[in-house]
Amino acid sequence: MSAKIRVLVRGWALACLALSILSSCGASSKEEPSRPEDEITTILYLTSIKENEGSSRIIGELAKEYQSEHPHVQFKLENIAEGDLTQRVQLLAASNDLPELFNYQSGKPLLDIIRSDSALDLEETFNELGMIDNLNPAAVDLLKAYVNESGLYALPLEMNIEGFWYNKEIFSKYRLEEPTTWDEMLQIAHMLQQEGVQPFSVAGKEKWPITRLINAYAIRMYGADAMERVDKDELKLTGPGFLEAAQTVQNMGLSGYFGPLVNTIDLGTSVDLFLQGKAAMLYTGSWQLRDFNDSVRNKIGVDQIGFFSIPLVQGGSGTLDEYPVNAGLTTSFSKSAYNEEVGKWMKYVFERYGDRAMGELGMVTGFNVHTLPADVSPLTKMVQDKINHVKKGALWFEARFSTRAQLLAWDNVQLLVTNRNYTPGQYLMELQQEIDKDRR
């Protein structure tokens, strides 16, 4: 290339650069400059909560708001059945391909992800982003306790207590009062079944709602720290209290108290059966407030929903002011997928999450609420009050189980409530053997 041509080319390049600068200066300050396609940041959320429900709905709304101002940051939600979630997350973690954020079970399953260095330290990250004050300290302590004080690696999108919700109209019709003992509750169930009313709605397809019932009985027998004592090998699942718990829940299933084909009922269907007045009672956590407060989905009305604590067990040491307390199905972030753009998105979404969840859905979360809505649902107020007066919180059944033990507990419990030839002793023995194997 001749010197003259090189000068012409250089001049042409400088002119183009100047034109580019002038064009940028003339652009509106409200618009981001166009970016090449490879600079698009996609934030993927793997969750078992449907897009239009609960925490997924709130996160999705806030993500859309952020994307409208930052079009190069795109949010996508992938919904997966909760029963498939554990295996999917494990596979993605093993290949170092976890999405930016994902649902997962707290406790030992999450501890495995933490130990593999796959999860983002959220306490450190929130401190760096200047937003740690948005988290309720009690929720932070709870989540740390679940993972043996390893740190904060999950967000408390909910803050829940568990217990029995009941249809006030049905109870009133048959002149029933809130039971305070399991014997009283089972008498109510028997009477309702005789009257053609399904006593309980249970999502057997999801498996964990059944193990929650075993846990509910066990913590009234042994006290709120029952599963912590199992984890420390101070209690055996083959002990008489757990055997009584599993036998009671099996009898409930075989007696038809859970309705026909319980293992085909998913979570959404079980909630709808209750909210449509087709079942008298539903054991679940206060995370279900999002559905109870939904005037379209709730056909019986908020005023017709009552709540009672897990009933007492004869000879047991549990008390009515002790509740299973949890932060729901938590959300974690991938350490390898985290970058500055994800951090900015995180700051926008989760600085606003607590207020939006309370304001729109009446959800009680582990995020501080800066502005309490004037029209908070009475159920939400009731739950908040009970959370404030919990004497002691209890773990759920599988909280300290390994992933293998957790899956075993879930898979076999479906058989327990439908097959009288599969005994409670067999169920608990197999589960204890798996726990003992993990200790070796």
Residue 107 Cα to chain centre, angstroms: 12
* Whether residues 319 and 334 fall in one domain: no
* pLDDT value of position 86: 87
* Whether residues 290 and 410 fall in one domain: yes
Cβ 223 vs Cβ 393: under 8 Å = no
Token pair 């406790």 in the structure block, residue: 107
* Whether residues 127 and 198 fall in one domain: no
| List of the chain residues with pLDDT < 50 | 1-32
* Whether residues 204 and 318 fall in one domain: yes
Retrieve residue 315's tokens: 């000879």
Q: Half-sphere exposure of residue 349, counting CA atoms within 13 Å on the CB side?
A: 25
Strands 160-167 and 279-285: antiparallel
Angstrom distance (rounded) from CA 332 to CA 121: 9
Give me the domain span that covers residue 137: 41-159+327-369
21 domain residue, yes or no = no
* pLDDT value of position 145: 83
Task: Return the number of other C-beta atoms located less than 10 Å from residue 121's C-beta.
Answer: 17
* pLDDT value of position 9: 35
* Whether residues 96 and 140 fall in one domain: yes
Q: How many domains does the chain have?
A: 2
Token pair 């502005």 in the structure block, residue: 371
Write the DSSP symbol of residue 309: P
* pLDDT value of position 82: 83
* Whether residues 238 and 298 fall in one domain: yes
* Whether residues 199 and 281 fall in one domain: yes
17 domain residue, yes or no = no
* Whether residues 297 and 181 fall in one domain: yes
Residue 145: strand, helix, or coil: helix
* Helices (H) then strands (E): counts for the chain: 17, 10
In degrees and rounded to multiples of 5, residue 163 shows phi and psi of 175, -165
Angstrom distance (rounded) from CA 166 to CA 292: 12
Task: Return the number of other C-beta atoms located less than 10 Å from residue 334's C-beta.
Answer: 22
Task: Return the number of other C-beta atoms located less than 10 Å from residue 277's C-beta.
Answer: 15
* Whether residues 94 and 56 fall in one domain: yes
381 domain residue, yes or no = no
Task: Return the number of other C-beta atoms located less than 10 Å from residue 294's C-beta.
Answer: 15
* pLDDT value of position 302: 94
In this structure, what CATH number is given to the domain that contains residue 114?
A: 3.40.190.10
Q: Which of 313, 336, 369 is the last residue of a domain?
A: 369
24 domain residue, yes or no = no
Strand (E) or helix (H) holding 98: none
5 domain residue, yes or no = no
Reported as a single tens digit per residue, the pLDDT across 315-350 is 999 999 999 988 878 899 999 999 999 999 999 999
Task: Return the number of other C-beta atoms located less than 10 Å from residue 50's C-beta.
Answer: 13
176 domain residue, yes or no = yes
* Whether residues 300 and 430 fall in one domain: yes
* Whether residues 213 and 303 fall in one domain: yes
* Whether residues 154 and 178 fall in one domain: no
